Amino acid sequence: MPSADLPDIPTPPPPRPPPSGAARNRHPIPDESWPTANEAEGSLLFSPLRLASGLELQTRSWVPAMVPWRATNEGFVTPQVIDWYRRFAVGRPGVIVVEATGIRDVPSGPLLRIGNDRFVPGLRDLARAVADASDRQTRLLIQCIDFMGIRRRPEPRRFFERYLALRDAHREAVAAHDARVDVADDDAVRAALLAGGDALWTSALDARELESLRRGHRERVTDVHLPHVAELPEVLPTLFGDAARRARDAGFDGVELHYAHAYTMASFLSRTNARDDGYGTTLEGRVRLPLEVYRAVRDEVGADFTVATRFLGDEVIEGGSRLADAVWFAERFAEAGFDALSISRGGKFEDAAEPKIGAAVYPYTGPSGHACMPTVFGDRAPFGVNLELAAAIRRAVRDAGHTTPIVGAGGINGFAVAEGALQRGDIDLVGSARQTLADPDWFAKTRAGRGAEVVRCIYTNYCEALDQRHEAVTCQLWDRWAPHEGDAKPLAEGPVDRSSDGRRRLIAPPEGWRPTRSR
């Protein structure tokens, strides 16, 4: 719960998905008035920015981290990973943030890892490819993340026979349900529980057990009865520090510490963190580990290496943190010395949809997930809807006497909303993920006065659905594109890697392409 000194700041309402079963209204993509080349050169979007670390950004365009599912199952960089980031770099954004990259040396599927020195050579190749493709105009950060343990939703038989630790309450519930069962016989109790169905399960299982059955077991930072969870404050600063050192050794320009969404560090910041060991409950306790991690990272990499963070302006869950919490945290992060603060929203496990049996819960399927990545099918148009959180945080940081740049994101797919937010002083850097996936050249086209050629994201979250299934992420506007199809002039292109089923290309076509479909 929050401390008494939490500022009195109302939280803007988040965008909401349509009610289940209701007809979906589709918000149109707004018309755009693109700048001429001269107008673009005089804009804030294409002006430079120097960070406190000394890093010079050529423009204020920022590509947030997106997980493309192209690493090996051991976490190594692949040619497909390099192609993915190289294609973004051709468009020369000011900053690219490489996908969430695990700081532990443990299996985590086809996600990049940085938990051991053996990952450095591949990451070095990635950093070199981005520098070369952008003619060293794009700065490269890597997002460092820690995960808590999570299991796939089990079959009921597997859950009751293997996972459930029997308690007296289970035996009592079974006895009340069916007096014929020998409750001294563990196998009989498990069989009775399995056969009892929902009616028995809801009365016999506690909330965590029922969650494990219906959604899969998920660890929390408050599970301090587990030694490896209790010791997180002891081990995470070193793990993050070592990861940042490897990023510097690999040639990255900086790191972004992932303090957002459904993961470990965000869970420490959350109002739901009730740890009573000094690392939870109060605002000071909740921010303690994030600040200790920052200091460990800074000690490893020095003052001249960029250290940013991404955190939530609003958790959008019952009992979760709100904008007032984020403002308080932002002031502490700025005071500590972070070089940039990137603001997101939602994306939590607590309100995610129940997964199918055999699948893992996905934190972007519930209301908080929609708030994180709003679509054209929500209760309001998704364009720039989360900028108001970043604006409030920036005002508070400036009022506290800090100049830390604020990255705003969420549905930015045109020059007007980007430049307007900069001109108003709402943000300092423009984060654009899905739009940059749709057209990696959109910043370059806009700067050259060719905005009419920009392929604009249509915000149906086709890409997010692929991510949910852990499939290679692509955009529906180009993943079926072929050379010469619908283009003003023929485009030459060599062999292109495709998805495992051979149906989708894995990178956007070369500049000059036109989309083959729009829905």
Between CA 30 and CA 435 the distance in angstroms is 14
| Cβ atoms within 10 Å, residue 251 | 16
Q: For 74-88, what is the HEC assignment?
A: CCCCCHHHHHHHHHH
Which residue spans of the chain are classified as CATH 3.20.20.70? 37-150+230-428
Helices 79-90/120-133 angle, 10° precision:
30
Determine the pLDDT at residue 429: 98
Q: Is 429 helix (H, G, I), strand (E, B) or coil?
A: strand
Q: Which residues are catalytic?
A: 263
Between CA 196 and CA 166 the distance in angstroms is 15
Look at the block and give the residue holding tokens 């909740």.
286
Between CA 183 and CA 177 the distance in angstroms is 11
Between CA 437 and CA 482 the distance in angstroms is 17
Q: How many residues are given for the chain?
A: 519
Tokens representing 53 are: 């670390």
Which residues neighbour 283 within 8 Å (Cβ) at sequence distance 6 or greater?
A: 2, 3, 5, 6, 325, 328, 329
| Cβ atoms within 10 Å, residue 280 | 23
Between CA 88 and CA 96 the distance in angstroms is 8
For residue 477, report the phi and psi dihedrals to the nearest 5 degrees: -80, -15
Residue ranges of alpha helices (H) inside 263-403 are: 264-269, 283-301, 323-336, 367-372, 387-399
450-462 burial, b if ≥16 CB within 10 A, otherwise e?
bbebbbbbbbbbb
CA 387 to chain CA centroid, nearest Å: 16
- Tens digit of each residue's pLDDT, the chain (519 residues): 445 478 788 899 998 887 776 667 899 999 999 999 999 999 999 999 999 999 999 999 999 999 999 999 999 999 999 999 999 999 999 999 999 999 999 888 899 999 999 999 999 999 999 999 999 999 999 999 999 999 999 999 999 999 999 999 999 999 999 999 999 999 999 999 999 999 999 999 999 999 999 999 999 999 999 999 999 999 999 999 999 999 999 999 999 999 999 999 999 999 999 999 999 999 999 999 999 999 999 999 999 999 999 999 999 999 999 999 999 999 999 999 999 999 999 999 999 999 999 999 999 999 999 999 999 999 989 999 899 999 999 999 999 999 999 999 999 999 999 999 999 999 999 999 999 999 999 999 999 999 999 999 999 999 999 999 999 999 999 999 987 655 555 566 778 899 999 999 999 999 888 886 655
| Cβ atoms within 10 Å, residue 355 | 17
Topology (CATH level 3) of domain 37-150+230-428? TIM Barrel (3.20.20)
424 class by beta-carbon count within 10 Å (0-12 exposed, 13-18 middle, 19+ buried): exposed
| Cβ atoms within 10 Å, residue 187 | 9
Q: Is 245 helix (H, G, I), strand (E, B) or coil?
A: helix
**How is residue 388 annotated by DSSP?**
H
Determine the pLDDT at residue 511: 87
Residue ranges of alpha helices (H) inside 91-185 are: 120-133, 156-158, 168-177
Determine the pLDDT at residue 100: 97
Determine the pLDDT at residue 2: 46
